[in-house]
Amino acid sequence: MQSTERARIEIYDTTLRDGSQGEGISFSVEDKIRIARRLDEFGMDYIEGGWPGSNPKDEAFFQRMLDEKLTNSVLTAFGSTRRAGVKAENDLQLQTLLRSKTTGITIFGKSWEDHVVHALRTTLDENIAMIGESVEFLARHAEFVIYDAEHFFDGFKTNRDYAIQCLMAAYQAGARRLVLCDTNGGTLPAEVGTIVREVRLALPEASIGIHTHNDSSTAVACALAAIEEGAMHVQGTVNGFGERCGNCDLVPVIAAIKLKLGVQCLNVDSLQHLTGLSQYVDEIANLTPDNRRAYVGRSAFAHKGGVHADAVLKGARYEHINPEDVGNSRRLLVSELAGSSSIAGKAAQYGIDLNRKSPEARSLLQSVAEREHEGYSYEGAEASFELLLMRAVGQIFEPFTLRGYRCIVEKRGHDEEPITEATVKVEVAGKERLTVAEGDGPVHALDGALRQALADFYPEVERIKLTDFKVRVVSSRAGTAAKVRVIIDSTNGDQSWSTVGVSENVIEASWHALVDGMVYGLQPSPRVGAAPVMVQSASSN
């Protein structure tokens, strides 16, 4: 079917229900409210809020959502068909779904005869009755019902006719969408496409949806295969959160539907906010974003090789889409593999005119290569690279000069906490300052002493705060004598930046990163934050 003939694809988000089942993910009620608001702003068609009656958190969420006015999205509650041997109107779980007062309700039922017999412990006929009667009862009280056919692909491969009968029962009872679920994630894309095609032939008037899991690492491919065969409704989660290996990741699915298949979905401007949505959900879930995530990852449009970077700067296309189409941006990686064009291009991002054939550019490139060989990495330490660049072209303000430091850690008793004291001597504006500070550890104490030395000359140091501290062993084979790489994240309340230090001594490595962070933060405005946080370095480590 040509894309011009295809209907708009519906996007059904189940991050708040299926996504919350992922290991290490625990949303509070307030978290769920915030994500629901963001999904609505993004333009998601459906937001599945949870399973009311299964836990107090979901009940509280649906109660809170009664006061929320969604603009673009329809909120749905999730549950199962009635129990075997119980009338739909007497089933407490179905009644709880109605009490959620959502516009739509999604229920799942069995499609695999093995599960009907061994999990539900009932007959095949009773299971079909459970599906039809549950959908019919809910459809009389809710605006619409979506039916999720659990383990449909396994059921279809075992007993095609019975799986189709289960769908038919839901369709004839009034289900708006029939969603085929690859619940254990074991079906491959070609097989999904074939089965979806057969279902559409068997139920030509029904609206078919797809719900896939990522146990075979093919959830996105399976969803797209189903869409290409006529499925017009796709379910998944933002960033692929979910049980076991996760659910279908809606982020690349949405991008592929609009940019690859040329089919409409969501709002006209939704795609431009895709990267922001992905980052927001990661933040609420308290998870580190995957830099290599398709379309929205920080590495998705990164160029490391010198030939690639040079071509990109000359206007050649090396990306499969424009990064801006999904709210992302292109990055030129600075590494030992980069060329002088990469250095010049990076300088231009910071408003520095640097000829790629100049001695400064070649010297800086050599410096980066040597430092990476020593263990430095400017990935996630953009401020340290910018300081290198500024020093190379003589456009840097040096707020102080280190004359020396000392750090003492003393433990006075088995049950006593260690005491850390740092002494720092620096020269500021031609004057030497010697300051002492205590801290919870060496870095904290050094930071305190440095701030004391600078505060009278630069009151703005009070706004500069350390927000994160990371240590990584660079050469583990050297054991306790190995070099370590320290990355420190800092902020002044308006912008954030990261700096790096490397040494066999963790305190020395920390000091280098700490000093870089302070020097960067004290650069004259608008130097700090003048460009997006995009300075990165690729490293083989």
Average pLDDT, the chain: 87
Mean pLDDT of all residues in 379-389: 80
Residue 329: half-sphere exposure toward Cβ, Cα within 13 Å: 11
Strands of 183-294 (E only): list them: 208-212, 233-236
* Higher-scoring residue by pLDDT: 421, 319: 421
Tens of pLDDT along 232-272?
Answer: 999 999 999 999 999 999 999 999 999 999 999 999 999 99
pLDDT at position 529: 39
pLDDT at position 338: 47
Among 22-31, 71-80, 467-476, where is mean pLDDT lowest? 467-476
**Cβ–Cβ under 8 Å, residues 233 and 44:** no
Domain 400-457, architecture per CATH: 2-Layer Sandwich (3.30)
Q: Where are the domains of the chain?
A: 7-266, 333-395+464-541, 400-457
pLDDT at position 539: 35
Does residue 540 carry a pLDDT above 50?
Answer: no
Task: Report the alpha-carbon distance of residue 224 to residue 254 in Å, rounded.
Answer: 10
User: What stretch of H or E contains 521?
Assistant: helix 506-521
**For residue 461, what pLDDT band results from cuts at 50, 70 and 90?**
very high
Residue with structure tokens 């963790």? 506
Tens of pLDDT along 36-88?
Answer: 999 999 999 999 999 998 889 999 999 999 999 999 999 999 999 999 999 99
**Cβ–Cβ under 8 Å, residues 49 and 17:** yes
**Cβ–Cβ under 8 Å, residues 225 and 188:** no
**Cβ–Cβ under 8 Å, residues 451 and 432:** no
Strands of 198-294 (E only): list them: 208-212, 233-236
Select 333-395+464-541's CATH number: 2.60.40.10, 3.40.50.720, 3.40.630.30, 3.30.160.340.
3.30.160.340
Task: Report the alpha-carbon distance of residue 508 to residue 515 in Å, rounded.
Answer: 11
| CA dihedral of residues 222, 227, 228, 230 (deg, nearest 10) | 130
* Higher-scoring residue by pLDDT: 84, 4: 84
Does residue 541 carry a pLDDT above 70?
Answer: no
CA dihedral (469, 473, 474, 480) positive or negative:
positive
Burial class of residue 295, CB neighbours in 10 A (0-12, 13-18, 19+): buried
**Cβ–Cβ under 8 Å, residues 40 and 72:** yes
Q: SS3 for 155? A: helix
Question: What are the residues whose beta carbons fall under 8 Å from the beta carbon of 459, sequence distance 6 or more?
Answer: none
Task: Report the alpha-carbon distance of residue 289 to residue 274 in Å, rounded.
Answer: 14
Q: Which of 247, 241, 253, 346 is nearest to 295 (CA)?
A: 253
User: What stretch of H or E contains 509?
Assistant: helix 506-521
Mean pLDDT of all residues in 431-454: 93
Domains 7-266 and 333-395+464-541 share a fold: no
Does residue 4 carry a pLDDT above 60?
Answer: no
Q: Which of 434, 465, 466, 463 is nearest to 450 (CA)?
A: 434
pLDDT at position 478: 53
- Fold assignment, 7-266: TIM Barrel (3.20.20)
Task: Report the alpha-carbon distance of residue 375 to residue 509 in Å, rounded.
Answer: 11
Q: Which of 202, 74, 197, 212 is nearest to 149 (CA)?
A: 212
**Farthest-apart Cα atoms in the chain, separation:** 91
Q: Which of 10, 56, 55, 62 is nearest to 36 (CA)?
A: 62
Residue 389: half-sphere exposure toward Cβ, Cα within 13 Å: 28
**For residue 413, what pLDDT band results from cuts at 50, 70 and 90?**
confident
**Vertex 409: Cα angle to 407 and 413 (nearest 5):** 165
Task: Report the alpha-carbon distance of residue 27 to residue 280 in Å, rounded.
Answer: 13
Tens of pLDDT along 110-120?
Answer: 999 999 999 99
* Higher-scoring residue by pLDDT: 370, 30: 30
Taking CA atoms, 409 is separated from 49, 271, 420, 436, in Å, by: 51, 53, 4, 13
User: What stretch of H or E contains 442?
Assistant: helix 442-455
